[in-house]
Chains A and B, each alone.
Chain A
Amino acid sequence: MSADVELSEVSVTFGSFYAAKNVNVKVNGGEFFSFLGPSGCGKTTLLRAISGFQEPSEGKVLIDNKDMSGIGPNKRPTALIFQNLALFPLMSVSENIAFSLEVRGVSKEERKKRADELLELIALEGQGDKKVHQLSGGQKQRVAIARALAVEPKVLLLDEPLSALDLKLRQRMRTELREIQKRVNITFIYITHDQGEALTMSDRIAVMNEGELEQIGKCDEVYNNPLTPFVATFVGENNPLYGKVTGIEGDKAKIETADGQYLATMNESKKLNIGDESIAFVRPETLFIPRDGDNFDNKIDVNIESFEFEGNLKNFYASLKSGAKIKFSVPNAIDTSSITSGSSIVLGFESSKSVILPKASLAID
């Protein structure tokens, strides 16, 4: 059983500070939905509003179309997985998993049966008698999930539960979480500041900044068609090219910058007019070193400053005439031995791969 979760004009204030401001979002039943944003953007506040630990100052939280105001966290069909997991250290693994059944007065045999089933789901069969501190980080993670699932919640809320794990484990847990979600088929609402996590696991994501929703959409939609300069630079990397609009051709706009003119694609909902201050964005992986026969509709002269080797990619940092910095990435398979620091080259990019948006502040890393 899964449930829709709807936030309707939800605001949460602490004094005069808006932790969340007029948030409207509808999460569909059975969906894996992520709130993505930098720390302090209000995503944890929203999660606490859904779980019932924080009453919204304005607006409503609806679960299965039922207004949740005044209903405490122990009465909502949600289960929360805490950032530090909050497993009970004095109880065994099984006791942890079956705690929600214990408080509902379920008999001991029934509890044992259910705990064993869940241990099997998380591939920890026969480890129910262990103490929590005897488990590894990934195992604790899975126990926390099992404990939350024991109540058979309609919505599972996850508050950055992978942030304490090392990289390899984090990557494995992403896949595992996704698989568990498919198996139990309930709504997952996931909070993270890590765009990689959000993009790989979610059906849809909502990008948040300073308490407000910037954009909601499918992962590739948000990545390819960001609605604001914040989203463009927070989700993935992007090079900003600042300038003024000098011409409009269909859905493309021409931007005049200190380093030359470029053509970029406008977003349907963010139409620009001639003379508007704007930013064209071009991602490092869409900047190419032209080969014979390539014909990009944008060309850009750069001076290579430095280089870093990432493994699958080689990253180059270059400057434009005006002093603006630009980053571009080349797959490791391509030979770049002729490009060294100090060399001047020409890069090309397609106007269809570049987005132009009205000027606004970027995400600061």
Chain B
Amino acid sequence: MNNFLFTQPFFKKNGKAVAIYFLVAIIFWFVFLVIIPQFYMLDLSFRTNVPPLARGGPEDYYTFEHYSHFIFGSKTATDAFNFVDLGVFGRTIFVSMLVTIANLLFCYPIAFYIAKIANPSTARLLIVSLIIPFWINELLRSFALRILFANEGVINNFLTGVGILDQGILFITYDIGLYTGLIYAYILLMMFPLYNAIESLDINQIEAAKDLGSSSFRTHWRIVIPHAKPGIVSGCTMVFMLTVGALATPVVLSSPNTLWFPQLIYQWFNMNDNWSRGSAYSIILLIVSVIFVLTMMRIFKVRIGEIIK
């Protein structure tokens, strides 16, 4: 048995030590960090919420109540549907989509400039200046934006101080701070896949299109964007998934009247001490996001293998 394993091509190619390290690391990652926690959560989401001591007792049984709560609300509620939670969920998905699109629109020109127009030293400088702000953690960056956008914050103080406005704008109340923060939070995850994809395009392709009479817009539409599609999709996927699951930014920047779906999940886990319901909500978010992304990929005719390229 032992001999059989060690004569496999994988072992011969990499040597015993490296091969064993790979196997152990991958199995540990996949089993302990992915499968076990997710299955535990999946299992929990179908159980009644009982105190630890009552687990395994008669009150601990399988149920759909947490999922039905998400859709229909509590049994005592008068509304036909759980409009509050469904609303938060729908808004989270919708706004995340807009944030993703905004990121794409922001990043594409910059990525193109760095990849194809700027000379190498300018490009390096620009990349470094993009990275450095992200040495500061997400929570601190959100608080920094809060200082800018608060009712008595830097922007409002400036505008009223100079006399442009009589009264400050309610950036936080109207969630302008939140949207800005969400766009900013994961922008690098859009920038780099885009940059890499555009960078790999042969400059002669762009020049050939131009030489054949193509306008700049059309060159982008027909040559650059089709080439960069895998990068666009991988950037959009990452930004969307992370935005949908963002917690720190909404906690700091969302208006008191609105919730981001992960905040709801957090409340079930930590404030209401209902891990089963929190798990169910997490599973819903995960599944819907994955379906959403796969649908988008189907619509834009991208195969999953292309993203990894």
Q: Which residues of A contact B (CB under 8 A)?
A: 51-53, 72-75, 78-80, 82-84, 86-88, 90-91, 99-100, 102-104, 147-148, 150-151
Contact = CB atoms under 8 A, between A and B. Distances in A.
A90 to B, nearest CB: 5
A28 B83 CA distance: 78
A103 B204 contact: no
A80 B218 contact: no
A74 B204 contact: no
A103 B211 contact: no
B301 to A, nearest CB: 12
A10 to B, nearest CB: 19
B215 A82 contact: no
Contacts, number: 62
A103 B215 contact: yes
Nearest to B203: A86
Contacts of A52: 211
Contacts of B210: 72-74
Contacts of B59: none
Nearest to A103: B214
B202 A79 contact: no
Top 7 A-B pairs, shortest CB-CB distance: A86-B204, A86-B208, A100-B212, A103-B214, A74-B213, A82-B204, A80-B211
8 contacts: A79-B212, A82-B204, A83-B204, A86-B207, A91-B222, A103-B222, A147-B212, A150-B212
Residue of B202, B204, B208, B210 with highest tally of chain A CB at under 10 A: B208
Q: Chain A contact residues: over half helix, strand or loop, or mixed?
A: loop
B68 interface: no
Contacts of A148: 212
B116 interface: no
B69 interface: no
B223 A84 contact: no
B247 interface: no
Contact of A99 (B214, B226, B227): B214
A14 B214 CA distance: 27
B226 A90 contact: yes
B123 to A, nearest CB: 19
Contacts of A74: 210-215
Contact of B205 (A53, A88, A102, A147): A88
Nearest to A87: B208
A262 to B, nearest CB: 50
Contact of A90 (B207, B211, B218, B227): B227
A86 B207 CA distance: 9
B202 A86 contact: yes
B223 A88 contact: yes
Interface in B189-240: 202, 204-205, 207-215, 218, 222-223, 226-227
A54 B210 CA distance: 13
B133 to A, nearest CB: 34
Given A80-B211, A82-B208, A100-B214, 19 more contacts: A52-B211, A74-B210, A74-B211, A74-B213, A74-B214, A79-B211, A80-B208, A86-B205, A86-B207, A88-B205, A88-B222, A90-B227, A99-B209, A100-B212, A103-B209, A103-B215, A103-B222, A147-B212, A151-B212
A84 B201 CA distance: 13
Contacts of A151: 212-213
Contacts of A80: 207-208, 211
A82 B223 CA distance: 16
A84 B212 contact: no
A14 to B, nearest CB: 12
A145 B199 CA distance: 27
Contact of B207 (A75, A82, A102): A82
Nearest to B229: A90
